[in-house]
Structures are given as structure tokens and as C-alpha cells.
Amino acid sequence: ETGVTQSPTHLIKTRGQQVTLRCSSQSGHNTVSWYQQALGQGPQFIFQYYREEENGRGNFPPRFSGLQFPNYSSELNVNALELDDSALYLCASTQWVSGANVLTFGAGSRLTVL
Amino acid sequence: AQSVTQPDIHITVSEGASLELRCNYSYGATPYLFWYVQSPGQGLQLLLKYFSGDTLVQGIKGFEAEFKRSQSSFNLRKPSVHWSDAAEYFCAVLMEYGNKLVFGAGTILRVKS
């Protein structure tokens, strides 16, 4: 039981469409981050939100956007989907443990773009 | 540039044998280091972490890792592998003031009986 739940678990879209992925983290975890894991690769940092504001971004274009809500849920939105957006998208909530951040990941949403 | 290298893409070990998965990092400051495990179709589970202090850290499922600053390494070990350990293992470094994790490409562990 990770305490981080993601939905949907799987979805299929076509090129050019838009998608919204959702994440619910534990109460009190006010930092959430999103990662993209392409097949056969390690996860890549997309962005992080802290208290509903974007607080860091990786090398992803603006068509990747996010929202964080007061109830500790968040969304990842991707516009104008491309074939290369096919990946597992992971949400993580952050706890401050022993002087550093520890990330707890959800099971992910697997997106296939056709 | 900050990076994490896992030199072995695949490793196969016999059940009951010992295991060592290699991880090297490139980071100018004191690193915060992690090992995660991912079973097929699953998310990432934290095995262990190193922040400071004792360079040998213990984790869940009988895993341990040793931080060696002089070698910029954080290798994962287990004395006796079980078939259920078959999974993909990722080493990661927490960077940019704790803002993001940078992951290696992963090592796929296969366990043969």
C-alpha cells in the first residue's frame, strides 16, 4: 500500500488528442512530482508541484502541464499527443525524512498513443 | 552534467547465489542516493536510501548498499537471491535541492532455479 493512487491504469489515445492523468497522494504530502518512463528506460522527471504551484520542471515541452489541488490530488495533462508520448507515467508524493526528500511512487498510468 | 550509470542492462543469477548491482553517479555535491525496484507492470518501490552517516545501509527484503565516495558508487547487494527478486532495479540520485530524482537506465535481474 503506497498511499499514492493513479488513474486510469491504462489508456489508449490517438496522435493529436489530449489526455489527463490523475493522482491522489496521502494527506499532508503537499509536494507531488510526475515522471515519464518510456519502455526500457529509467523514469524522467517532468515537473513538481508544491502547494499548487509548479516548483521545478524537467526537459519537457509546454504541452505537458499540471495541476495540484488542495485535497492533495493532482493532474498531468498532455496536449497534442505524439507517438513518443507512449510511456508509463508515474506520480510521486514527497515526505521529508531524516533531512531529505523521499519519494513514494504510485503504480502508474500506462499511455499508448496510436 | 549530473547522471547515474548502471553498467549492467541484464544480470542473471541462480537462486541462492549472491547479487551485486552496480551504480555510479556524477554529482558535485553530497549525493542523496536511492535504490528502487520495479516489478513488471508496477510502479517503483523504495528498497533503501543513503543520506549521510554509515556508508553501509540496510533496506527491505534483505538488500543492502554501500556508498563509496572515492568511487562515486552506490552498489546494491544481497547475500542470497530468491526467485521473487526477479525485477528491474533502478539507482537514483536526488538533485537540485531535493527537487528531482535522476534515475539510471535500470538493471533487469533474472533469477534461474
pLDDT tens-digit profile of B91-101? 999 876 667 89
What pLDDT does residue A1 have? 45
Q: Which residue of B has its CA nearest to A40?
A: B105
| Nearest beta carbon to residue A100 from set B45, B94, B104 | B94
d(C-alpha A50, C-alpha A87), whole Å: 24
pLDDT digit string (tens) for A57-78? 999 999 999 999 988 899 999 9
Mutation for B interface: A45, A50, A109, most B CBs within 10 A: A45
Question: Mean of the per-residue pLDDT values for chain A?
Answer: 92
Min Cα separation B59/chain A (Å): 14
Cis peptide before B7 (omega within 30 of 0): no
Residue A52 or residue A19, greater confidence: A19
pLDDT digit string (tens) for B2-57? 799 999 999 999 999 999 999 999 987 778 899 999 998 788 999 999 988 889 99
